[in-house]
Amino acid sequence: MSDSTFRARITPSAATTSRIEEANKQTLKKSDSTANSTEIEVPYTEYKSQNGKPYIVDHYQIGDTWQDSDGGFKVEINTIDTYLREKIESGIMENSIPAIKEAIKKIEKACGVNKEDRTVNKIAKVSAYAEFLLKTRGL
């Protein structure tokens, strides 16, 4: 003989079953809405007109301060943007955000930008490198 305890089977009530079914329906609705809300990726050259700011601003997460006359990054952002647009127009680079991310990553590596660097330093280095490449493109 064994000292095991046997349990009686419990069947869920109608109220519990309806709550489970309602929760499942809501989960399905959420998953359907996220599946249908896939955004079409904007090309890099159209990013500024769609979002009101260049992609570089969002990439470095500098918010609205990039246009400030004192301490802003307007010149640096425009230099980087000009360099990237020129690469796209010449056919060297694809007109997509992933291609731009990859290009920025390569430029940062060439400039010696570290992950620990402050954003100000990253932008300054990338901008100086882009300016250098723009000036020497005809040589």
The whole-angstrom separation of Cα 130 and Cα 103 is 11
**Does 17 or 83 have the greater pLDDT score?**
83
11 phi and psi angles, rounded to 5 deg: -100, 135
**63-75 pLDDT tens trace:** 887 777 777 788 9
Determine the pLDDT at residue 28: 57
How much is the pTM? 0.67
The counts of H helices and E strands in the chain are 6, 0
Give the torsion sign (CA, 106, 109, 115, 116).
negative
| Mean confidence (pLDDT) of the chain | 81
User: Domain segments of the chain: what residues?
Assistant: 44-135
